[in-house]
Amino acid sequence: MTEARTDADPRGDDELLMLAGAGDQRAYRALVARHLPRVLAMARRITGNGAEAEDVAQDAFLRVWQKSPDWQEGDARFSTWLYRVVVNLCVDRKRRRPTAPIEAAGDPEDPAPSAESQLATAQRNRRVAGAVARLPERQRTALVLTYYEELSNAAVAEIMGVSVSALESLLVRARKALRGALDEAPSAVER
């Protein structure tokens, strides 16, 4: 299966990683350019913090550079390995120090024309983000990788180190918990 390329380098991840392992900085930069946007987005969703996400991405790509000389083509898909590293770094950071709740971060500035639609969207997003943030760690990770990152169940199961059926069970519990949290929490308009 060929991955979709968003960068100009036509070489595959394994080839770039092997070249990076031999000291080719251009190959390493091509890997970073190719995967950085998804790594940042995934880390931001899991940690709930943009600064933490940037630190996680930096740590993840440092590990790519350090591990590239030892990379064995065919052992695993690079993207799967990278996403697993990112998930583990996010989990480690969340365990080390508590972060402020997402509501404390405030609303990001949005250039949408209608203030009313902006308010409604922001309220809905806060409710969903808050409900996702309150999920148990493994349920939250499974949900983020499956729905936000749009990875297949098999890929998510591999990243998380669980069977596909265990992943599906985590997703069922996560969706049920989200429905319950969103159904019982009144919106700001109703208060």
Per-residue pLDDT of the chain (191 residues; tens, 9 = 90+): 444 444 567 888 888 888 888 888 898 899 999 999 999 999 999 888 888 899 999 999 888 888 877 777 666 788 888 898 999 998 888 777 665 666 666 776 655 446 787 788 888 888 888 888 899 999 999 998 998 888 999 999 999 999 999 999 999 999 999 898 888 755 544 44
H/E stretch holding 67: helix 50-67
Residues 52 and 20 in one domain: yes
Residues 95 and 25 in one domain: yes
Residues 129 and 54 in one domain: no
Please tell me the distance from the alpha carbon of residue 174 to that of residue 141, in angstroms, as a whole number. 10
User: Which residue, of 34, 68, 99, is where some domain finishes?
Assistant: 99
Domain of residue 138: give its range.
108-191
Please tell me the distance from the alpha carbon of residue 178 to that of residue 172, in angstroms, as a whole number. 10
